[in-house]
Amino acid sequence: MTGTEPVIEIANLVIAAGRDGVTLVDDVSLHVDAGECLGIVGESGSGKSLTLRSVLGLLPPTLIRTRGTMRFRGREDEEPRPVDPRDLRGHGVSMIFQEPMSSLNPTMRIGDLVAAGPRAQGVSRRAAADQALSLLREVGVPDPEQRVRAWPHQLSGGLRQRVMIAMALSVEPRLLLCDEPTTALDATVQDQILTLVERLRAERGLALIFVSHDLSVIARVAGRTAVMYAGRIIEQGPTRALIENPRHPYTRGLIESMPQLHGPPVRLKAISGSPPTAGRLPSGCRFAPRCPFVVDACREVDPPLLSIGPHRASACLRQAELNDGGQS
Ligand SMILES: Nc1ncnc2c1ncn2[C@@H]1O[C@H](COP(=O)(O)OP(=O)(O)O)[C@@H](O)[C@H]1O
Ligand code: SF4
Ligand SMILES: [Mg+2]
């Protein structure tokens, strides 16, 4: 799985509330290679879910993609090609969500749920049932021979999430989109699911995009991270480098407010204020009203996301001064 071309490449994605409506996702570009996990992190409302949903054409009906291109590589031998998102559902791309119950049909038994995708693709009932059993085993559902006859409501939250992952894998995706899949789970179960996701990425060579508001979760699973703020990617880079040496004050704020990343007890700093309302962005840098490093120039220009070194980019006018922990 050493593809030279990304499995998916999105360029200049813009999502708006209608043709002339408010911009909710603003000029987002990203790519993911086979066997790689890209993390997307940011506070609630920053545009993470819309970005992910647009890959599958699953935007809410009132929202539209007003700009942007998407190229997808379906099989190992295939060239990247522009795609209509609707073509990707069940054909190379699967998605898992925060709340498994909303995606698990309560009137279907677990075995039938996991067999439904392959059945829809013409796999025989028998073969799909066998495949469901082995997938449930692969994702760590105990006693799968018994559990295939269970109903979704009979399972714990962690087991439901494992079933949803088995369903996602049943159509043999190249790309798995994960939208806060562990946010509703307690810490122990969250940890187990993250371990599973990591194992599947490594064993199956899956390309993954993993979205979370929690940087400590992203740090566990993602080799590379994009930080979103108010609809834009404002910093990106290899996850470890980004955490050790953040080059945008917002990323720095996220790190300082994450207890898990700090080890021994420290006084945690929350980022003061709240993100701007969509359509009511401040002039200049959208983080300026909350930024401890703000200077007058920040209110005049909206800083573009610029390359600041190998695989790193930042949308901060003062990124160079932040290098290796500069103080305001
Ligand atoms: N159906 C919708 N109609 C109008 N605005 C929406 C809709 N869904 C999401 N939004 C807005 O789009 C922005 C991004 O939302 P979302 O991608 O869900 O954020 P995140 O997943 O980062 O929490 C938010 O400001 C949200 O209020
Ligand atoms: S451009 Fe200015 S306001 Fe924006 S993040 Fe950088 S220092 Fe802060
Ligand atoms: Mg979301």
Q: What is the pLDDT of residue 265?
A: 53
For residue 288, the ligand 2 atom closest to its alpha carbon is 3
Q: Whose CA is nearest to atom 16 of ligand 1?
A: 47
Does the beta carbon of 287 lie inside 6 Å of ligand 2?
yes
Given 172, 195, 214, which residue is the final one in a domain?
A: 172
Q: Give all strands (DSSP E) within the chain, no chain letters.
A: 8-16, 23-32, 37-41, 64-72, 81-82, 93-96, 175-179, 207-212, 224-229, 232-238, 306-309, 312-314
Q: Whose CA is nearest to atom 6 of ligand 2?
A: 316
51 and 196 inside one domain: yes
265 and 210, same domain (yes or no): yes
Range of the domain at 189: 32-56+86-92+173-328
CB atoms within 10 A of CB 304: 10
Q: Write out residues with Cβ below 6 Å of ligand 1.
A: 17, 24, 42, 44-50, 60, 62-63, 278
Task: Provide the pLDDT for residue 3.
Answer: 47
Q: Tell me the best of 13, 15, 24, 41 to mutate to test the pocket of ligand 1, counting ligand atoms within 8 Å of each CB and taking the most.
A: 24
CA of 132 to the centre of ligand 3 (A): 29
- What pLDDT, on a 0 to 100 scale, did the predictor assign at position 321? 92
How far, in Å, is the centroid of ligand 3 from the Cα of 134? 31
Q: Please give the pLDDT value at position 107.
A: 95
234 within some domain: yes
CA of 296 to the centre of ligand 3 (A): 33
Q: Is 311 helix (H, G, I), strand (E, B) or coil?
A: coil
Total structural domains in the chain? 2
Token code pair at residue 161: 């999430």
CA 126 to ligand 3 centroid distance, Å: 37
Instruction: Report the pLDDT value the prediction gives residue 77, as an integer from 0 to 100.
Output: 56
68, part of any domain? no
10-residue mean pLDDT profile of the chain (328 residues): values are: 75 92 96 96 96 92 93 73 75 87 90 94 94 96 96 94 94 94 90 94 95 95 97 98 96 85 59 90 96 96 95 96 66
**What CATH number did the domain enclosing 324 receive?**
3.40.50.300
Maximum Cα–Cα distance across the chain: 68
Backbone angles phi, psi at 229, to 5 degrees: -140, 125
Which pLDDT belongs to residue 284?
96
Question: Looking at residue 240, what is its pLDDT?
Answer: 96
Question: How far is it, in rounded angstroms, from Cα 29 to Cα 17?
Answer: 19
**Residue 106 Cα to ligand 3 middle (Å):** 23
Judge whether 12 lies within some domain.
no
Residues 142 and 209 both lie in one domain: no
Whether 234 lines ligand 2, by a CB cut-off of 6 Å, is no
User: In 3D, which of 276, 212, 275 has the Cα closest to residue 239?
Assistant: 212
